């Protein structure tokens, strides 16, 4: 690798390239570097503030290595996830998360709270503090960090193995290319620019790159997460609304509405009328705890002069797609490898079905998955690069990007039009949240039309080029979601079909999805085993 102090930042070589600077990417970069790899990390925003975690506070699936406690932790959520999770993966995520959280305390000196027994409580993280410290650790590990540098496509060698990535430098200007022995995609899930807290950088770019390289996706039907937020604001923290009562505009209680059970009642009501809320079931101690757990939850209230514990305020549901859904790039090995040599996936870019099945209640499992899968993907990518030998980063490569970067026809489309067309099919509650085959099918047809148009005519230069790729990625993501949602003709996990209520025992399998112009689905036949 070029000396970081003198490199121009346009054409680099590395053992491992990490795309994405949220927690999964940061852990991948640290662990690849600790395994001896030269690492470049590129993020479309800024390592330390980018993504769903940095702006939020989250619980972490951190369980002491006590067999009874571990058993209870694994058993507690299996039903919620539609029994699609895998015990062996859960067990190793619990092990790895325990180790990583302890590293955060010991190496990064993360200031955890201290319990009455004098011991640190390591079951939660505050995003700004966590990611600031991860940035320090990544840089101390010698990783070259490219901020404001969205990856726009993967590079492959002659055999089809992934051999690097290329992208745009938004602030420095120009393009960059990193030829590498292996690539980790840690680009996050896809929230369709819904303005859900911290999620506007999560446009599903990595899933598009992976599909272009020939990788598969899994669980894309589990993609209808919506979070409660005060209307016209960004701050999501659905857990706190378990203390809330919901009301109609006339002040009567909205029967059946709730943050866990009953969020669909809120969605159905919001289609026609406003929904009001008051967090009126929290004790004074709980109210105080909320302020300490996620201070920015209260910024929209405090700054508008609303007391959420006493005043009624309007709420909305913001799409979180596959950020808090569980679908993503399919993992095929214990090192978070994919079906494409040289390509690894971590965090929300990857499927979280292995530990959650078809449902995650919030950040706790995702946070554990991000640090665990990031660790394994980073180590796996470093091993892969080492096995290829020193010349791997100088292989002859070809770029794999097509939609939104190399259109078949004359570029005539604006990425804003494409994004608007995708959002019109994905954000409405009666299409994605309250699912019915009669509404999913026409929405998919409209998205297919959008895809054909953008394949023919979407591209852009500079910043617009990166956005055109994100628009294409969102279009692809929405089509995988709805194709999978139509294929799963039952209700399981978060995927609820109004026309197919109840689980169908014959569909107790994960659903694999792939393809770009033609999308396919198939039941998964072999689970990604922990032991190779």
Determine if 126 is a binding residue for another protein (CB under 8 A).
Answer: yes
Per CB under 8 A, the list member of 496, 497, 500, 510 interacting with another protein is: 496
Question: By C-beta, is 67 or 391 nearer to another protein?
Answer: 67
Map tokens 């956005």 to a residue.
467
Per CB under 8 A, the list member of 15, 147, 216, 320 interacting with another protein is: 147
State the nearest-atom distance from the C-beta of 525 to another protein, in Å: 27
Neighbours of 502 (CB within 10 A): 10
Question: By C-beta, is 255 or 518 nearer to another protein?
Answer: 255
Question: Residue 472 and residue 392: Cα distance in Å, rounded?
Answer: 30
518 Cβ partners below 8 Å, 6+ apart? none
SS (H, E, C) 95-153: HHHHHHHHHHHHCCCCCCCECCCCCECCCEEEHHHHHHHHHHHHHHCCCEEECCCCEEE
Determine if 119 is a binding residue for another protein (CB under 8 A).
Answer: no
Determine if 124 is a binding residue for another protein (CB under 8 A).
Answer: yes
> In the window 239-278, what residues touch another protein (CB under 8 A)?
239-240, 242, 256, 260-265
Per CB under 8 A, the list member of 119, 303, 310, 410 interacting with another protein is: 303
Closest by Cα among 263, 216, 261, 260 to 484:
216
Asked whether 163 and 400 are in contact (CB, 8 A), the reply is: no
Question: By C-beta, is 383 or 467 nearer to another protein?
Answer: 467
State the nearest-atom distance from the C-beta of 438 to another protein, in Å: 21
Stretch that binds another protein, among 1-9, 355-363, 376-384, 453-461 (CB under 8 A): 355-363
Stretch that binds another protein, among 158-166, 284-292, 328-336, 379-387 (CB under 8 A): 284-292
Closest by Cα among 532, 406, 420 to 471:
420
Question: Residue 373 and residue 24: Cα distance in Å, rounded?
Answer: 7
Closest by Cα among 243, 256, 249 to 231:
249
Determine if 364 is a binding residue for another protein (CB under 8 A).
Answer: yes
Determine if 233 is a binding residue for another protein (CB under 8 A).
Answer: yes
Q: Which two tokens stand for residue 206?
A: 């990595």
State the nearest-atom distance from the C-beta of 49 to another protein, in Å: 4
In which element (H, E) is residue 158 found? none
Per CB under 8 A, the list member of 70, 195, 248, 423 interacting with another protein is: 195
Residue 230 DSSP label: E
Determine if 55 is a binding residue for another protein (CB under 8 A).
Answer: yes
The DSSP bridge pattern shows strands 11-19 and 124-126 to be unpaired
The 17-46 contact track toward another protein, x by CB under 8 A, reads ---------------------------xxx
State the nearest-atom distance from the C-beta of 208 to another protein, in Å: 20
Per CB under 8 A, the list member of 171, 310, 396, 410 interacting with another protein is: 171
């Amino acid at each position: 690798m070029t000396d970081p102090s003198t490199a121009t930042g346009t054409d680099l070589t590395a053992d491992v390239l990490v795309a994405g600077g949220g927690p999964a990417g940061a852990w991948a970069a640290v662990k690849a570097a600790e395994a001896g790899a030269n690492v470049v990390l590129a993020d479309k925003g800024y390592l330390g503030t980018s993504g769903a975690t940095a702006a939020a506070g989250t619980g972490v699936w951190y369980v002491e290595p006590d067999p009874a406690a571990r058993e209870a932790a694994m058993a507690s959520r299996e039903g919620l996830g539609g029994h699609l999770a895998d015990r062996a993966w859960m067990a190793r995520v619990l092990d790895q998360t325990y180790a990583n959280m302890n590293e955060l305390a010991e190496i990064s000196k993360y200031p955890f709270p201290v319990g009455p027994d004098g011991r640190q409580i390591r079951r939660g993280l505050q995003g700004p503090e966590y990611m600031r410290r991860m940035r320090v650790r990544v840089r101390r590990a010698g990783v070259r960090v490219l901020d404001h540098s969205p990856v726009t496509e993967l590079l492959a060698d002659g055999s089809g193995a992934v051999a690097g990535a290329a992208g745009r430098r938004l602030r420095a200007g120009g393009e960059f290319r990193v030829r590498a022995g292996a690539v980790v995609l840690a680009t996050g899930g896809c929230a369709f620019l819904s303005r859900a807290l911290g999620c506007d950088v999560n446009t599903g770019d990595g899933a598009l790159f992976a599909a272009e390289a020939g990788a598969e996706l899994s669980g894309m039907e589990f993609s209808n997460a919506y979070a409660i937020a005060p209307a016209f604001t960004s701050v999501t923290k659905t857990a706190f609304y378990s203390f809330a009562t919901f009301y109609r505009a006339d002040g009567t209680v909205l029967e059946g509405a709730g943050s866990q059970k009953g969020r669909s009642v809120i969605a159905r009501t919001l289609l026609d009328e406003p929904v009001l809320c008051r967090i009126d079931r929290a004790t004074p101690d709980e109210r105080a705890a909320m302020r300490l757990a996620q201070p920015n939850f209260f910024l929209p209230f405090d700054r508008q002069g609303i007391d959420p514990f006493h005043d009624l305020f309007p709420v909305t549901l913001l799409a979180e797609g596959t950020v808090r859904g569980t679908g993503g790039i399919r993992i095929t090995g214990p090192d978070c490898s994919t079906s494409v040599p040289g390509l690894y996936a971590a965090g929300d870019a990857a499927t979280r079905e292995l530990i959650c099945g078809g449902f995650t209640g919030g950040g706790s499992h995702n946070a554990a998955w991000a640090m665990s899968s990031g660790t394994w993907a980073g180590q796996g990518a470093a091993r892969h690069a080492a096995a290829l030998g020193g010349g791997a980063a100088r292989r002859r490569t070809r770029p794999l990007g097509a939609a939104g970067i190399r259109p078949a026809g004359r570029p005539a489309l604006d990425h804003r039009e494409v994004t608007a067309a995708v959002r019109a099919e994905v954000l409405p509650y009666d299409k994605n949240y309250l699912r019915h085959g009669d509404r999913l099918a026409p929405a998919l047809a409209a998205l297919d039309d959008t895809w054909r148009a953008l394949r023919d005519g979407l591209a852009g230069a500079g910043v617009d080029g990166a956005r055109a790729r994100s628009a294409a990625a969102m279009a692809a993501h929405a089509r995988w979601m709805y194709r999978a949602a139509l294929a799963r003709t039952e209700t399981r996990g978060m995927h609820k079909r109004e026309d197919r209520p109840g689980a169908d025992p014959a569909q107790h399998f994960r659903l694999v999805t792939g393809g770009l112009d033609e999308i396919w689905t198939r039941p998964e036949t072999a689970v990604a085993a922990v032991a190779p």
